[in-house]
Amino acid sequence: MHVTATAVSPIQRRARIAALISSTQVWSQQELASLLKRREGIVVTQATLSRDLTEMGLVKGANGYMLPGATPALPPEGREAALGAALRQHLISVTRGGTLVVLKTPSGHANSLAIELDRAGLAGTLGTIAGDDTIFVAAKDTDAAASLARTIERLARSAA
**Structural domain boundaries in the chain:** 3-66, 76-157
pLDDT in tens, 104-145: 999 988 888 888 888 888 889 999 999 989 999 999 999 999
Q: Is the pTM of this model over 0.75?
A: no
What pLDDT is attached to residue 51? 92
CATH 1.10.10.10 is right for the domain spanning 3-66: yes
Q: Which CATH class is domain 76-157?
A: alpha beta
Q: Over the chain, what is the mean pLDDT?
A: 85
Structure-model confidence comparison of residues 91 and 115, the more confident one: 91
Q: Is 57 left (phi over 0), alpha (psi -120 to 50) or beta?
A: left
At residue 65 the predicted structure's pLDDT band, cuts being 50, 70 and 90, is: confident
Calpha distance 128→28 (Å, rounded): 25
Tally Cβ neighbours within 10 Å of residue 22: 20
Contact 102, 135 (CB under 8 A): yes
> Do you know the residue count of the chain?
160
